[in-house]
Amino acid sequence: MKITNIETIALTVPLLRPAVIASGSATTGFHVLIRVHTDAGLVGLGEASPIASTDADTPGSIVEVVSKRIGPRLVGCDPCRLQDCLALIHTAIPGNQCAKSGVDIALHDLVGKALSVPVYQLLGGRSRQTISVIEADIWIDTPEAMAAMAKEAASRGVSAFEIKIGKEPEVDFKRVEAIRKAVGPDARLRIDCNEGYAAGTGLRILRAMEALDLVYIEQPVPRWDIEGMRRLAEALDTPICADQSAYTPQDVMRLLSCGAADLICIKIPKSGLGHASTINAISEAAGVRCTLGSMLPLGIGAAAIHHFAIATRNVDVEMGGVYGSPLDYFVDDIVQSSTVDEDGVIRLSDAPGLGITIDEDKITRYRRTWSLAVTPP
Ligand SMILES: [Mg+2]
């Protein structure tokens, strides 16, 4: 089997509510559908889902990089030589993590289909049967509004919350305090600062927040401030989780070799399944557990996260953070059926590849044309 063509289609799907984090806000998701075609008629499905305020990729750059740099290297290759294909992706151009991840996901789907096995089998088989993903993201707002949002979710049975902060340190304390009061002492609270604090400010405010009983603190300082992460990890009792500091296996080697993170947040849309497995192996060898973030993908990216979560023992799914259904965030999805059941549980069948089918009408509806001059707001 040989790869004949790689197709890219930019899509925009509105969010149900604005997603506000320290680095920016969004009302719409920007995605690129990637289809890897072969001479055997099999098609691999992938998706790139950059977050405009945190990722270096844009929809336009992804279309350009996949069509002009990565695609030409893969045409003519046998996708079942997966390691060789992934090496071609990663040496095609520096950076461009989201573009590379989208193609990586499509190749895994394709190889699973070619071998008639689910992607989780390619990743080592099941390490767990099911994952419950009933939790809530609380986006940045006033302390009162965030507490009300958390209370509403708690009334639906949600007991785990990811709280987005990192804007104004003093107000951030009030935000987390108000949520703790609203949802009670047993709720599991995680905070994600999305690079919002300078290292000095971070220590003072985060030390105060520790009294509110947090599961972990994610990406408190800018991604480049490895020394700041190390100082916080040393000074605080609550685990420090690296997200934007941890895109590549090399990033994770650097972080863990100097004690700059207690947890690593793996995101398939930023690292791809191949490098996510390497990042997980490095972390596991260092005695560090991984969590799973998302970058709000649609159904293809979500399925890739779910296969990785089912397969990977060192991912701590109990700690929270595993992405559920895109329909919890977006007005619509592009797949015919989700890999999360209606009860909020990931089960996964033994269907080949990612086990999903695209809804072509949805692709027509949400398709957008991006010129390189256009950058999403
Ligand atoms: Mg994060």
pLDDT tens digit sequence for 233-262? 999 999 999 999 999 999 999 999 999 999
Instruction: Name the percent of the chain lying above pLDDT 90.
Output: 90
In this structure, the strands spanning 367-368 and 345-346 are: unpaired
pLDDT in tens, 122-137: 999 999 999 998 889 9
Cross-strand bridge partners of residue 118: 353
Burial grade of 224 (CB within 10 A; 0-12, 13-18, 19 or more): exposed
Name, in order, each residue with C-beta under 8 angstroms of 68's C-beta and a sequence gap of 6 or more. none
Query: In 109-133, which positions are buried (b, 16+ CB within 10 angstroms) versus exposed (e)?
Result: bbbbbbeebbbbbbbeebeeeebeb
Q: How close is the Cα of 63 to the center of ligand 1, in Å?
A: 25
Q: Which of 100, 164, 270, 362 is catalytic?
A: 164
Instruction: Give, rounded to a whole angstrom, the gap between the first and last alpha carbons of the chain.
Output: 41
pLDDT in tens, 268-289: 999 999 999 999 999 999 999 9
Q: How close is the Cα of 299 to the center of ligand 1, in Å?
A: 20
Q: How confident is the model at residue 116 (pLDDT cuts 50, 70, 90)?
A: very high
Q: Is 167 a catalytic residue?
A: no
Q: Which of 100, 113, 267, 270 is catalytic?
A: 267
pLDDT in tens, 346-356: 999 999 999 99
The reported pTM is: 0.95
Question: What is the distance between the alpha carbons of residues 107 and 339, in angstroms, rounded to a whole number?
Answer: 19
Contact 367, 9 (CB under 8 A): yes
Question: What is the distance between the alpha carbons of residues 265 and 293, in angstroms, rounded to a whole number?
Answer: 6
Q: Calculate the average pLDDT of the chain.
A: 95
Burial grade of 68 (CB within 10 A; 0-12, 13-18, 19 or more): exposed
Q: How confident is the model at residue 199 (pLDDT cuts 50, 70, 90)?
A: confident
Q: Is the pLDDT of residue 90 over 70?
A: yes
Q: Which domains can be identified in the chain, with CATH numbers?
A: 3-116+359-367 (3.30.390.10), 122-346 (3.20.20.120)
pLDDT, position 246: 97
Q: Is the pLDDT of residue 365 over 60?
A: yes
Question: What is the distance between the alpha carbons of residues 22 and 6, in angstroms, rounded to a whole number?
Answer: 35
Q: Is 362 a catalytic residue?
A: no
Cross-strand bridge partners of residue 202: none
